[in-house]
């Protein structure tokens, strides 16, 4: 395990140094940062125009949204290789990984890294800190621990989504456009107050893909909203979803046939 992590860190370092060789890498960082800043702008403008929805203010919405976005951004950094994995099957490059005496999952995860993806994580984390200040939540050890577990649990959950899509790609070969429902579209759901979500959507993003467990419930725990007692299980839910996804991935690996066969 230790050697696998060392290999993963070495691959990430190699990808990072290769990316920094492009003189315009910082332009990509700014571009992603602008997209992250402008993405929730319609929601902010709507609240300024219409006012709060019941007890839901723009600060509440943005806190839940920022927790999900920061988790997704961090998962994009550490698991980008799984996001582009279908191309490795089509090109035959996955066969080369099979020849190396190291964990396939760590090799695939470290096979791609884009530095500009850090902009999403950084902007999301900044909004979390800002919204907590706006909601007058003190920076106690409990709050820091809950937020840290929420982001870590969300990162593991979104890593699980990428791993799951790669496991399914063994049988479909092609990229899975529908998987974006579980990535980009999933954190957009957090901009809807939970009390006003249709039950089918709320249950789907609670028990099938636990976005609300890593977004709403941790925010409820630190802010004293209803349901805050569930805020401490964000990390276990993320681990559980990742474990299930790894099971699908291993099933796909066992049934993989070489590109040349």
Contact 69, 220 (CB under 8 A): no
Using CA atoms, how far residue 228 sits from 97, 138, 142, 251, in Å, is 44, 16, 13, 36
Give me the pLDDT at residue 244, please. Answer: 93
Position 13 scores a pLDDT of 76
Rounded CA-CA distance 247/251 in Å is 6
Domain hosting 178: range is 2-254
pTM, 2 dp: 0.86
Q: Within a domain: residue 64?
A: yes
Residue 236 lies inside a defined structural domain of this protein: yes
For residue 167, is it within any domain?
A: yes
Q: What tens-digit pLDDT sequence spans the chain (261 residues)?
A: 677 677 777 777 777 777 777 777 777 777 777 877 787 788 888 888 888 888 888 999 999 999 999 999 888 888 878 877 877 777 777 888 888 777 788 888 877 777 777 888 888 899 999 999 999 999 899 999 999 999 999 999 999 988 988 888 888 766 566 677 777 778 888 888 888 888 888 888 888 888 989 999 999 999 988 888 888 899 999 999 999 999 998 998 888 877 665
On whether residue 260 sits in a domain, the answer given is no
pLDDT of 70 reads 92
**19 found inside a domain:** yes
In degrees rounded to 5, what are phi and psi of residue 53?
Answer: -105, 100
Task: Copy the structure tokens of residue 221.
Answer: 């725990």
51: left (phi over 0), alpha (psi -120 to 50) or beta: left
Task: Give Cα 126 distance to the centre of its chain.
Answer: 16
Burial group, residue 97, by CB count within 10 angstroms (0-12, 13-18, 19+): middle
56 forms beta bridges with 53
How far is Cα of residue 222 from the mean position of the Cα atoms in its chain? 21
Rounded CA-CA distance 258/188 in Å is 38
Q: Tell me if 261 is assigned to some domain.
A: no
Is 200 a domain residue? yes
Total structural domains within the chain: 1
Domain contains 190: yes
Q: Give me the pLDDT at residue 1, please.
A: 66
For 198, half-sphere exposure in the C-beta direction (CA atoms, 13 angstrom radius) is 3
């Amino acid at each position: 395990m230790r050697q696998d992590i060392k290999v993963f860190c070495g691959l990430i370092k190699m990808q990072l140094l290769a990316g920094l060789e492009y003189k315009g890498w910082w332009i990509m960082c700014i571009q992603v940062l602008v997209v992250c800043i402008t993405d929730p702008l319609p929601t902010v403008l709507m609240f300024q125009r219409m006012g709060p929805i019941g007890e839901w203010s723009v600060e509440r919405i943005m806190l839940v949204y920022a927790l999900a976005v920061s988790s997704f951004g961090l998962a994009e950094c550490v698991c980008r290789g799984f996001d582009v994995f279908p191309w490795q099957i089509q090109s035959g490059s996955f066969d080369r990984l099979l020849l190396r005496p190291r964990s396939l999952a760590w090799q695939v995860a470290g096979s791609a890294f884009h530095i500009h993806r850090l902009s999403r994580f950084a902007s999301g984390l900044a909004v979390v800190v800002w919204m907590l200040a706006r909601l007058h939540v003190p920076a106690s050890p409990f709050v820091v621990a809950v937020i840290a577990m929420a982001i870590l649990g969300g990162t593991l959950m979104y890593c699980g989504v990428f791993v799951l899509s790669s496991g399914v790609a063994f049988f479909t070969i092609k990229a899975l456009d529908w998987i974006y429902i579980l990535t980009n579209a999933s954190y957009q759901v957090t901009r809807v107050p939970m009390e006003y979500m249709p039950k089918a959507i709320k249950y789907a993003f609670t028990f099938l893909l636990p976005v609300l467990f890593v977004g709403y419930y941790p925010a409820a725990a630190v802010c004293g909203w209803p349901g805050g007692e569930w805020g401490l299980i964000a990390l276990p839910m993320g681990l559980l979803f990742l474990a299930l996804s790894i099971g699908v991935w291993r099933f796909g690996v066992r049934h993989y046939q070489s590109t040349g066969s």
